[in-house]
Structure 1
Amino acid sequence: MAEQGEARQIRLKGQLVEYSLQRRARRTLGLRIDARGLVVSIPQRVSIAQAELFLVERADWVLSKLAEWATRPKPASFDVADGIHFPMLGQRCRLQLSHGQPGADWVQGIDSRELHLRLRARENPRTALLRTIQHYALGYFGGRIEEYAWALQQSVPGIQLPRLALTNARTRWGSCSRISGIRLNWRLIHLPNAQIDYVVAHELAHLVEMNHSARFWQVVELMYPDHREAQAALREAHKIIPAW
């Protein structure tokens, strides 16, 4: 989705506010506030001075929303140890740690799963778990991109399967470039399938329209008709994703 922008600060009614400034192929200025903070999206030709005037004019709303998010409970970080639970694809997953030949086995149940993770001697469990989750995410995301790219090709012939890489970004779920391909935030793997599929469809649609025009959303809807519901659910992702 949107690329990570320039980190900036502005004083609104005496309060110093940090925000991310993103230049986008759009016609109007936009604001977004969620668990990751304040994001200001502006057209390419709009100046920083104009963007900050836009913020000043909406200072009451911005400060109110930031205060609201500040009072919401933050996801608790967890100590990686045998028997802990963490979310995978929206399901509860139990971690079973042991030592021996390094490896990982995912055991799928009806509504839950287990990860049997074998560690080297003196290997950091947190590092091993993170590596294992990211490896799983790369394979899972790749499969979803293949499926949705195939669906897109039925309506837009000539679309090539993009390269995939993971990102550790804090302020975006994904990004797309016709040159470098698609990058997806590995933390998405904690969320339900529907939300992951929406992000995949969103980024693939950028191969057709590198903007968020009406035509872009038509392409998204072609691949993922329930995109509005998934997009709304993503705003609550902070309640699910562990604080790594």
Structure 2
Amino acid sequence: MSDKILLKNKKNISVEAAYEVFQSKRKTYSLSLNENGVLTVRVPLYVNGNEVEQIIRGKQFWITDRLAEYEEKKRRRPAFEYTQPQRLALEKRYKEAAREYIPKRADYYLAAYPDLFSRCYSRISVREQKTRWGSCSSKGTLSFNWKLMLAPPAILDYVIVHELCHLVHMNHSAGFWSCVAAILPDYKERRKWLKDHGNELTLS
């Protein structure tokens, strides 16, 4: 169940924002708008409710801008919606395409940068992850969200490279980001696109 908070936009107009808080063993916070226009706030375990509100208010212009974009996209959205059987059929096709396409792109980067990768993945899994676009296990299993097939190819490649570099660095250290940058010098722009537009990768 989401909470609500009243924010001010750049025109000093009040905007009500719904938000959900997720606490985990992380060191920093993150904000994103999900496909339903609800703000997702991810924070460390020690952050309390008042601190969450302070974080939100500290980013109120960014949040209200995203909410305005969401409302505009909703207004432009086609009047029709897929039926449940249609949506399930489309999801099945995208998952099948992902299972064929993603391993090919992963193998391409492994072959193109042999000096960077000392190991190969053990297998690749495609599923619908609720909070991640991709992951890499200690055993070398790479998992990807099928919804990445709805993203521009450059963004999908960024997530693939990101997870491949976790085969070398199981963290987000400077060494890890150097690995990503060696393959994709513009990875920051691609990462930003995914952060700003990831909530749009859905079947309406």
The structure that is helix-richer by fraction is: 2
Higher relative contact order (CA 8 A, sep 6+): 1
Aligned to 1:220: 180
TM-score (norm 1): 0.62
TM-score (norm 2): 0.72
Q: Rg bigger for which structure? A: 1
Aligned to 2:58: 61
State the shift of 1:133 in Å. 1.9
State the shift of 1:242 in Å. 3.8
Q: Which amino acid aligns with 1:29?
A: T
Does the 8 Å CA contact 1:165/1:184 hold for their aligned counterparts?
yes
1:89-108 → structure 2 map (5 Å cutoff): none
Q: Which amino acid aligns with 1:136?
A: A
User: Separation in 1 of the partners of 2:91 and 2:143?
Assistant: 18
Give a deviation string over 1:188-215, Cα, whole Å, max 9, x none: 1111111000010111111222222211
| CA spacing shift, 1:12–1:125, aligned 2, 3 Å | closer
Aligned to 1:142: 103
Aligned to 1:19: 21
The structure that is strand-richer by fraction is: 1
Structure 2 regions of 5+ residues with no counterpart? 7-16
Structure 1 regions of 5+ residues with no counterpart? 1-7, 43-47, 82-123
Aligned residue for 1:38, secondary structure, equals: strand
Same amino acid, percent of matched pairs: 26
Aligned to 1:31: 30
State the shift of 1:150 in Å. 2.9
Q: Which amino acid aligns with 1:150?
A: A
Aligned to 2:13: none
> How many residue pairs align between the two structures?
185
User: Separation in 1 of the partners of 2:88 and 2:18?
Assistant: 36
